[in-house]
Chain A
Amino acid sequence: MKNILKSAVALLSVLVAFTSCNNTSNSNAGALSSSAAEKVYVNPGEHDEFYAFISGGFSGQLSVYGLPSGRLFKVIPVFSQDAEKAYGYNEETKPMLNTSHGFVPWDDSHHPDISQTNGVIDGRWVFINGNNTPRIAKIDLSTFETTEIIEVPNSAGNHSSSFVTENTEYVVAGTRFSIPIPQKDMPIKDYKGNFKGALSFISVDPEHGHMDIKFQLIMPGFDYDLSHPGRGKSHGWFFFSTYNTEEASTLMEVNASQNDKDFIAAVNWKKIEEYVNNGGGTMMPANYAHNVYDESTHSATSTMIKEVLTVNPLDVPGAVFLMPTPKSPHGCDVDPTGEYIVGSGKLSANLTVHSFTKMLAAIENESFAGDAYGIPIIDFEASLAGVVEQPGLGPLHTEFDGKGNAYTTFFISSEVVKWKLGTWEVVDRQPCYYSVGHLMIPGGNSQKPFGKYVVAMNKITKDRYLPTGPEVTQSAQLYDISGDKMELLLDFPTVGEPHYAAGCPADLIKPRSKKLFKLEENNHPYATKTEADTKVVREGKDVHIYMTTIRSHFAPDNIEGIKVGDKVYFHITNLEQDYDVPHGVSIIGANTSELLIMPGQTETFVWEPKQVGVWPFYCTDFCSALHQEMQGYVRVSAANSSTPLRWSLGEDIE
């Protein structure tokens, strides 16, 4: 009995020891991780608080995420072909990728910016720049589709783009590489003094958002790196950071890093606009593409424009000034009040902040320290508001929370640093994994930031995720900035290389997001609005199939009389008028992508059959319970055969 009691006590104490041990370890690990986890957890079926539009860099696209969950919703094809959505593959969207260099199926997308009204994000459009073959794209946030792309002439490496002014009067695109303007055959060594940098002001129609290059400011041959609009008190001005003011053209990493200070160029665009409106500027020959997608015809058209208005800054006195800023500044960021312009000298140990008020006073008092090609250089001290001393290494980009704090990324020391505007004191720092580039606070480039989260976008991830061979994912990191100290909440992978992002409250966009396209508003020239109207028409070697889809069949689904050597256009209209019921289609051997057709939409793909036979086509998007049955056949006869052109649905072709 005693033994039993003893062993019972022993067992009990062991159990107690184990359970209590478990409890403590659980609560220690659990409490910490659960607080961060809870902050980013969005219950199944519930929606995120913010949209984040994160650029794809070398993917050429723009991805749509939810914050705080970091969930990916969509990759919007912009500058690169996307076989999944037929973008740049179907007949309707091929013109979107037309340029003066022909069809360019790829680009490097960098800096998305959301349209604004009265200095506040309005959620109508996102603009984004193509870096390599200079272009600006506009994405309509009612459809989340690219609806316009304009090529930027006289530009190369379209990097200091695509930032919008306070009322989306302009989306601005600055050249990174200076080039001969106009282009000509000349020795590279004659760069200095001969190459020029174009800063393009693209007007945006307030109604439709249609873009039009209003004027190009032809600046000295520096590299224009980033830019941001003035806002509030500085509305009407635009600020561009520069490097390579040395005007070197080889071994740039050394030769473009010699000057102690480069410049932030301050451009009074209101003044230049007035000059241009009064007939100023020089119209010069050009050749650039303007591609517009029309939602009613579900088709894009490409127009080549043959001239562009250029402005010599010297012709508009008082419009352009240069503010010396240490060591090849990258970011050039304007705080929500419009007073401070933060220059992130990427090779400097300090952050330089200019004051808009002091800049105006310096201009008034002509406190100049010389000029560059006739453009006044403001005395460094005259516009200087303050310096953030030794905040980190390799400052790149700054955003603001609207509560008097600024957040700057440091590439070399791989961190986000929080500091106070006005006192310039550093108040917090958090590491990034690794080598952060830009960061984004929703509304951070406007008068009204939503200072709850900051997203840091990293260039390198190394060991942060499961390895996937030599090429590993890029990433973003989400920090809670609602308190005094920043808190890292989440790592999430991104598509391509995230250069920059734009975010806004979901409620700005969600209610306007389209559910479908109305069939009665479909003005596609090859639209077929009822099954009774389906037909197959031969025009020489071209055969046009007017086909429809509805759960769960194609009409027609049997076609005969196609011949080897024909060019067959499948014009497919999705007759569905229900949310989230797209149909897809492709046919064996098509030398192009599938189509993915939204309800009420018409899309076209081309098939050039090369072999005699009976070839099936089918629905590629699981549409319904009878999706597997959604299929059809095309009979292809020899080129010289006499098989009549016939089609049917639900009965045999006799």
Chain B
Amino acid sequence: MLIAALLPLGLFLFPLWKITLEAPQYPTPLGMYIHINDFSDANPHDIKNINIMNHYVGMKYIPEAIPEFKIFPIGIIITTIIGLIIAFKGNYKWFLFWFILMIVLSAAGLYDFYLWEHDYGHDLDPKAIMKFTNPDGSIMGFQPPLFGTKDILNFKAHSYPQLGSLFLGLGIAGSFIAHLVGKKIHKKALHM
């Protein structure tokens, strides 16, 4: 459980998610890493160039910072502290509690990410240089996929988790294993 509680700290070292945009004119694709507390270029100036490209369809500039960059790191630190307290003081039932807590928080985080992406892809400047409509006549959005690959006009957008997410996932899984192992030991102890 100790390891499980510490693993999510990997989010401070490695990016959580990566969005990549491929097009023929970009032999080196444009890419953006999403960290727990920052956006960063995959290659120098990528975010600047994504912004330049996106302004044609009226998308907002990718902000320097979003409130989540403050909230998420605090959330991770608090849950890690809770995890550590549980690891030292708690029993396997608490391990399950931490597991569920992390699942709920991660789901909330993903949902928040989805909302941001949706807003970014759909809240377009009414003075946009180019306006596209879907076959049904509605305004076309440019939301990148939450997970997976999607064609957006001349771009192919990829959105996949990175090493940081793996650490978080392993931590969550670890807590569940700790719970199972703890439960088994507890049962054995009862039988003896």
Q: Which residues of A contact B (CB under 8 A)?
A: 550-551, 576-579, 625-626
Contact of A578 among B52, B56, B129 (CB under 8 A): B52
Interface size of B by Cβ–Cβ distance < 8 Å? 9
Residues in A with CB closer than 8 Å to B52 are 550-551, 576, 578
- Chain A residues with Cβ below 8 Å from B48 are 577-578
Partner of B49, one of A578, A625, A626: A578
Give the shortest distance, in Å, between B154 (CB) and chain A (any CB). Answer: 11
Q: Quick one: closest B residue to A600, CB to CB?
A: B45
Give the secondary structure class of A's interface: loop
Pick from B28, B44, B56: contact of A625, CB under 8 Å: B56
Please name 11 further chain A to chain B contacts, defined as beta carbons within 8 Å, in addition to the given A578-B48, A579-B28, A625-B130, sorted by A numbering.
A550-B52, A551-B52, A576-B52, A577-B44, A577-B45, A577-B48, A577-B49, A578-B52, A625-B56, A626-B56, A626-B129
Least CB separation from B129: chain A residue: A626
Return the 4 tightest CB-CB contacts between A and B, nearest first. Answer: A577-B45, A578-B49, A551-B52, A577-B48
Provide the bound-state CA to CA distance between A577 and B129, in Å. 22
| A-B CB pair tally, cutoff 8 Å | 16
Give the A-binding residues of B (Cβ under 8 A). 28, 44-45, 48-49, 52, 56, 129-130
Distance to closest chain A CB from B132 (angstroms):
13
A576 vs B48: C-alpha distance when bound (angstroms): 9
Q: In this complex, which of B28, B48, B52, B56 has the most chain A Cβ atoms within 10 angstroms of its Cβ?
A: B52
Chain B residues, CB < 8 A from A576: 52
A579 to B46, CA, bound (A): 11
> In the docked arrangement, what's the CA distance between A315 and B165, Å?
77
Output the nearest chain A residue to B55 by Cβ-Cβ distance. Answer: A551
Instruction: Give Cα A551 to B56, complex, Å.
Output: 10
Output the nearest chain B residue to A626 by Cβ-Cβ distance: B129
Q: How far is the CB of B83 from chain A (nearest CB, A)?
A: 42
CA distance A11 to B155 in the complex (A): 56
Residue of B nearest to A579 (CB): B28
Nearest-Cβ distance from residue B33 to partner chain A, whole angstroms: 18
Contacts of A579 in B (CB 8 A): 28
Q: List 16 A-B contacts (CB under 8 A).
A: A550-B52, A551-B52, A576-B52, A577-B44, A577-B45, A577-B48, A577-B49, A578-B45, A578-B48, A578-B49, A578-B52, A579-B28, A625-B56, A625-B130, A626-B56, A626-B129
**B56: A residues at CB distance < 8 A:** 625-626
Which residues of chain A come closer than 8 Å to B129, judged between CB atoms? 626
Instruction: Name the B residues within 8 Å of A577 (CB-CB).
Output: 44-45, 48-49
Please measure, in the bound complex, the distance between the C-alpha atom of A551 and the C-alpha atom of B54, giving whole angstroms: 11
Q: Which residues of B contact A625 (CB under 8 A)?
A: 56, 130
Most-contacted residue by chain B among A576, A578, A579, A625 (CB, 10 A): A578
Q: How far is the CA of A365 from the CA of B152 in the complex (A)?
A: 82
Give A372 Cβ to nearest chain B Cβ, in Å: 61
Alpha-carbon separation in the docked complex, A445 to B121 (Å): 59
